[in-house]
Structure 1
Amino acid sequence: MTSALRIEGGNPLTGEVKVRGAKNLVPKAMVAALLGSTPSTLRNVPEIKDVQVVTSLVELHGVAVHNDPKTGELTMDPTNVSLANHADIDAHAGDSRIPILLCGPLLHTLGEAFIPDLGGCRIGDRPINYHLRVLEEFGAKVEKLPTGISMRAPSDGLKGAKIHLEYPSVGATEQVLLAATRAEGKTELTGAAIEPEIMDLIAILQKMGAIITVETDRQIIIEGVDELKGYTHTALPDRNESASWGSAALATGGDIFVRGADQKDMSTFLNVFRKMGGGLDIQDDGIRFYHPGTDLNPLFVETNVHPGFMTDWQQPLVVAMTQAQGVSVVHETVYENRFGFTDALVRMGATVQIHKDCLGPTVCRFGHQNFKHSAIITGKTPLHGADINVPDLRGGFSHIIAALTAEGTSNVTGVSVISRGYEHFVDKLQGLGAQFEVLS
């Protein structure tokens, strides 16, 4: 796995890349297969680290997995689900936060579950208290151990519950869906996340036999059933990767056709991209993102839950904003610590100021908590090469974009984390004409 790149910047990225299934859906769809009594088949599966991690975790629990990377088809047979050794779970989970989502299905199937201390990208607190509270609402007994957290289902199984999320957390919503489908009785969830990946997970569960109704005002009703079967499903394309390549085209003055990009799940990003002055050619089989050769416009952007501007879109776009004429403002309302990546941009010549104030029309939940969650980007500023260490998945890809935009040489380390969510990104960069050398 590539861990360091020496990049020669200043060259536009041009050509075509292909995106496959969404990182924010595929691992969760794999977990859902644990709920079925028969095998499941998932298509359009990308070769990313998160898929490898979940494959290892479900195999530890007795699931037979066959993955064909060339076709992107993955089959999972949960017939022989069994308990796994705690140390093995810890070793295979690495820094992934996916293990928490295995708990509901395992509590239904085995009556108990274990998760190690969880890692993940350092972009904010991302507490698991939502998850634990949800599982306790269903009747699970949670016990903190020195090595992690152990859970047990009551002797008569999990029961439906009325659950309200104070914030529409994607992970907590997934936890409710995975736990409620086989819980006895009805579950009423309010304050739910309604991202496209959530809707695709609901579609998978419905194929398996679940009864799930999505109401207005972020309310989801799940009527528990005794048994679920396996599914056959094609994962929706990764809108995050698609937007990242779009930002890369804009920042480098390039022209990239993203095959597989889907307009309907990216409409908010496409509107912002066009307002910045970016060129779009939206087709049935993908989207062409290109720099039209004129000055880019500064913008105000506020991240929010779906259908708002996605938080994962802002970091790559900030790099493009450094190349716009004038002052842009980004107000981050989803994660409280997502601007750490801008330190490297400043060292590369960007003018970026980070503020604790809510630089938006309304005060968000971080407004009085002393978090630096707003950014002012003043452009256009020429970027120059620098030595960079990747902090997290989206910030890391943003650093790659910045290095490609900059004049001169950049040494970028820690890039292996990018493989968590970007399939074959080094090969794709090469196909787009990027000039770089793999150091390790």
Structure 2
Amino acid sequence: MDSILVRGGGELNGVIPIAGAKNACLTLMPATLLTEEPLTLTNAPRLSDIRTMTQLLGSLGAEVASLQDGQVLAMSSHNIHNHTADYDIVRKMRASILVLGPMLARDGHAIVSLPGGCAIGARPVDMHLQALEAMGAELDLRDGYVHARAPGGRLKGAVIEFGFASVGATENALLAATLAKGTTVIKNAAREPEIVDLAQCLRRMGAQIEGEGSSIITIQGVDRLSGATHPVVTDRIELGTYMLAPAICGGTVECLGGRIELVGAFCEKLDAAGVSVEETERGLKVTRKNGRVKAVDVTTEPFPGFPTDLQAQMMALLCTADGTSVLEEKIFENRFMHAPELTRMGARIEVHGGHATVKGVEKLKGARVMATDLRASVSLILAAMAAEGETVVSRVYHLDRGYERVEEKLGACGAHIERIAS
């Protein structure tokens, strides 16, 4: 397995282009299954998860062409000949479950393996299945697969009320409802920008959707959807990650394509910590104001709150803050696995259940550390850039699932970082 070698010290200065959102693209790609006409996505990120979804769609009979160095995905599902999403592919990535709703909506039947992904806690698909059952689907779980069929070949509109605002379940229900007969109302819907982006794409394809971005989304089912071309929204998690780089190391970095509305709650915490965020014509410019950042408390929440996917990176910043910070993780119960690795670098962190107390130190020190999940891997790289000496981050295959060309982007701003091939 590859490793990342980082030699700490020195400010970062320059520009970093922010890619299209991984989580949006992985949701948009299954939308091709809803139509026989071509669907083209621009501003696509170049990531291993995108390749996995490409493989999954291909196994079902969809054609996916990667163009313009992977930043354009041209898809066609005019010949879906297989309705089984196999375990060998689905186990690699949780977003694979999102092919279930579209296949069921279009052809009335599907068999999908229960998914995998990062080991950051229980993330059951119960609400996905409850939403589809509300629309009339008959489901049978056996041998690790969901066997689903729509009586009469078509789902029916329904009122779906989620117990909490699940992003994935909202996306699956939204995809399925576009071709359901009648009106579907999703209550307590997730409000993330990726869901807004999905609704906008589906509307371009002819879907009738209202209310995306609020807690109630209404979908009037149509008989068929057409093709479309749609740009993937900016990745707010990659944006937040690279905004933290100059906050940790010092210097000024402009994140191209960034928008405040994508990371509002995150920006509020940066400001409280003593980090300046300025809107420019091209994106967001980030500068650490003076000296060490200040300690701040952070609680992860569904959008528009502080994102759980930026918690690990924020912890890296707070490891060298002046004072004591408390981070509360309210989304996933097992998402502090990066804390012991940061401790190996000299951080002072105590974890108790869903809370982590971080007592800032003046300097971290380089060490050999191991990535445990996608966001943990990049948090260790951020910490390493501000640490004394060399840090080697192993098991970075996680990193390639969610960040494209990390060494190139950070290296262009002055970071001493390189990949060590296994």
- TM-score with structure 2 setting the length: 0.95
SS in 2 for 1:32: helix
Other-structure match for 2:217: 220
Shift of 1:332: 1.6
Greater shift, 27-36 or 104-113, is seen at: 104-113
Q: What secondary structure sits across from 2:97 in the alignment?
A: helix
Tell me the SS of whatever aligns to 1:416. Answer: coil
CA deviations 1:275-329 (Å, max 9, x no partner) are 1111223112111212233231111222111111111122111111112111112
Alignment of 1:218-367 (within 5 A): 218-355=215-352
Query: Residues 183-194 of structure 1: matches in 2 within 5 Å?
Result: 183-194=180-191
Cα 1:66–1:216 shift into 2, 3 Å: closer
After TM superposition, give the deviation of residue 252 of structure 1 in Å.
Answer: 1.8
Question: Take 1:234 and 1:58, find their aligned partners in 2: how far apart are those partners?
Answer: 19
Report the equivalent of 2:130.
Answer: 133
- Letter in structure 2 aligned against 1:426: E
Q: Which AA in structure 1 matches 2:89? A: H
Letter in 2 for 1:73: V
Aligned to 1:363: none
Query: Alignment partner of 1:339: what SS?
Result: coil
Give the Cα separation in 1 of the matches to 2:154 and 2:11. 57
Say if 1:83 and 1:110, in contact at 8 Å, map to a contact too. no
CA contact (8 A) 1:349 1:381 kept: no
Paired letter, 1:376: T
Post-superposition shift, 1:76?
0.8
SS at match of 1:398: helix
In structure 1, the residue matched to 2:71 is 72
For residues 211 and 354 of structure 1, the distance between their equivalents in structure 2, rounded to whole angstroms, comes to 46
2:3 maps to which residue? Answer: 4
**Alignment check: 8 A CA contact 1:351 1:381 kept:** no
Paired residues for 1:376-395 under 5 Å: 376-395=357-376
**What code does the residue aligned with 1:428 have?**
K
Deviation at 1:84, TM superposition (A): 5.1
2:208 to 206, 211, 214: 211
Residue 22 of structure 2 corresponds to residue 41 of structure 1 = no
- 1:402 equivalent in alignment to 2:383: yes
Distance 2:302 2:292 in 1: 30
The TM-score normalised by the length of structure 1 is 0.91
Q: Distance in 1 between matches of 2:324 and 2:413?
A: 30
Matched to 1:55, the amino acid is: T
- More deviation in 376-385 or 109-118? 109-118
Cα 1:107–1:285 shift into 2, 3 Å: same
3-state SS, counterpart of residue 57 of structure 2? helix
Deviations 1:151-175 (A, max 9, x none): 2222241111111111101001001
Task: Provide the rounded CA distance (Å) in 2 between the counterparts of 1:424 and 1:176.
Answer: 33
Q: Shift of the alpha carbon at 1:85?
A: 5.7
Shift of 1:208: 1.1
SS in 1 for 2:61: coil
Q: Does the 8 Å CA contact 1:38/1:79 hold for their aligned counterparts?
A: yes
Aligned residues: 421
1: CA distance, partners of 2:221 / 2:161 = 18
The offset of 1:19, in angstroms, is 1.1
- Provide the C-alpha distance between the structure 2 equivalents of 1:69 and 1:240, rounded to a whole number of angstroms: 23
CA distance in 2: counterparts of 1:437 and 1:426, whole angstroms: 6
Distance 2:102 2:418 in 1: 44
Distance 1:5-1:142 versus aligned 2 partners, 3 A rule: same
SS state at 2:196 partner? helix
The verdict on how the C-alpha distance between 1:285 and 1:115 changes in structure 2, with shifts beyond 3 A counting, is: same
User: What are the ranges of 5 or more consecutive residues in structure 2 without an aligned counterpart?
Assistant: none
Q: C-alpha separation between the residues in 2 aligned to 1:226 and 1:244?
A: 42
2:142 to 145, 150, 155: 145
Question: How high is the sequence identity, in percent, across the aligned residues?
Answer: 36
